[in-house]
Amino acid sequence: MKDLFIALALAVCLEGLLYAAFPQQMKRAIALMLATPEAQIRVIGLTTAIIGFIVVFWLRAG
């Protein structure tokens, strides 16, 4: 459980750094996401989650 919270904190930290370093590009990315159909966002999110799970499993098993 501790690893989960560490991973979430790291994700929040990295996202914050992106907003701080590239505010204009992040605004464009948000605008693009708002214009993207929900079904496509779901597919991308699910695909990304599966890839992330596989990578974590691979790293923990190795």
- The tokens for 16 are 């914050």
Longest dimension (CA), the chain: 40
For residues 43-56, average pLDDT: 95
Is the per-residue pLDDT at 30 higher than 90? yes
Reported confidence tier of residue 35, pLDDT bands at 50, 70, 90: very high
Give residue 18's pLDDT band: very low, low, confident or very high (50, 70, 90): very high
Mean pLDDT score of the chain: 95
Q: How many CA atoms lie within 13 A of 52 on its CB side?
A: 8
pLDDT (average), residues 21-46: 97
pLDDT at 62: 78
**How many domains is the chain built from?**
1
Identify the three-state secondary structure at position 22. Answer: coil
**The model scores a pTM over 0.85:** no
Range of the domain at 15: 1-61
